[in-house]
A = this chain, B = another copy of it.
Amino acid sequence: MKLHINLGENGYDILVKRGALKKADEHMNLARRVLIVTDSGVPKEYAETLLPRCKDGVLFVLNQGEDSKCFAMLEKLLSVMLQHDFSRKDCVVAVGGGMVGDISAFAAASYMRGIDFYNVPTTLLSQVDSSIGGKCAVNLCGVKNIVGAFHQPKAVLIDPDLLKTLDKRQFACGLAEVIKMALTSEKELFELLEREELDANLDEVILRALKIKARVVDEDEKEQGVRKILNFGHTIGHGIESTTDLLHGECVALGLLPMCAPKVRERAVALLKKYDLYNLPALNWEKIQDAAFHDKKADGDTVCVTTVEEIGTYKLQSMKTIDVLKLAKDHLKG
């Protein structure tokens, strides 16, 4: 299955295909110098599968974790390309999650003012989310993604077989983002997730989620604002993330519930339970309030939130922070 991202000269294909990694050279031009970037948390056989398919491949393994997405490591990647005499005609391939993709794409964007970049995302989250949009970046002084560029990949290779080795919680986190997108934008996808076993439909689910993201990003270029629906569930979600040990996706899953109408919420809770995403820890609402609305006054200021009254549709609306918090308290009781 293939999705073409229509950006004129910069357009590219996203291929969703099991076993694609083993035939990577059919989908990417690897007959040149290739810097393969991966991290220590990615099964090393993935990069090693790719390496012999490159005419002149160089492997670079980052330490797993957000700390590697830094300026010093960017300089290191660029230096490695320089040491290996990379020219404007050579390329970079990321094999990993969002962190690996972000820093590798920025290295490709800035080496000689831009060389080819391919993305082979290995987590569900990066497969459905970060491989669209062309944003790349590193962190600086503790601020995420503050330095970067827009650099479209030449192609994205999504091999759902690679998810077999993914940690279950990480897999569920990716799925939380899929559920988020289905709730605001596609009833059919939501019902597929409710009705079917995921294993048998994973490729289809990934492709549908990609299509939603592609549509939203595309619309956003014309109409500022629609992209805000990608933050559905994130206001309360961020508050929970700052005050518990839950992972980002797990918090988003919880954060979207208060923003749904009762009937939608009922189905959403059932779906989250099905995929082991409904795990309510003890919540400290005072701390959540501080983290979610830090610079806002609780009793007067408003925030823009996405709400879902019918599955597959959304409203962007302004709500008082106190009302958002009340909804969250009411619907996230342990």
Contact = CB atoms under 8 A, between A and B. Distances in A.
A149 B112 CA distance: 8
Contacts of A109: 149
A58 to B, nearest CB: 16
A140 B71 contact: no
A79 B110 CA distance: 18
A149 B135 CA distance: 15
Contacts of A205: none
A78 interface: yes
B82 A148 contact: no
A111 B147 contact: yes
A113 B141 contact: no
A143 interface: yes
B78 A110 contact: no
A136 to B, nearest CB: 8
Interface in A64-79: 71, 75, 78-79
Interface in A125-179: 135, 137, 140-141, 143, 146-150
A111 B141 CA distance: 13
A114 interface: yes
Contact of A135 (B78, B79, B83, B113): B113
Contact of A149 (B83, B113, B141, B143): B113
A135 B113 CA distance: 8
Contacts of A110: 110, 147-149
Interface string A27-45: 0000000000000000000
B111 A146 contact: yes
A82 B149 contact: no
Nearest to A70: B75
A183 B127 CA distance: 55
Interface string A84-127: 00000000000000000000000001111110000000000000
5 contacts: A71-B71, A109-B149, A113-B148, A113-B149, A114-B150
The 7 closest A-B pairs by CB, nearest first: A113-B148, A71-B75, A110-B147, A82-B141, A78-B147, A113-B149, A79-B141
Interface of A: 71, 75, 78-79, 82-83, 109-114, 135, 137, 140-141, 143, 146-150
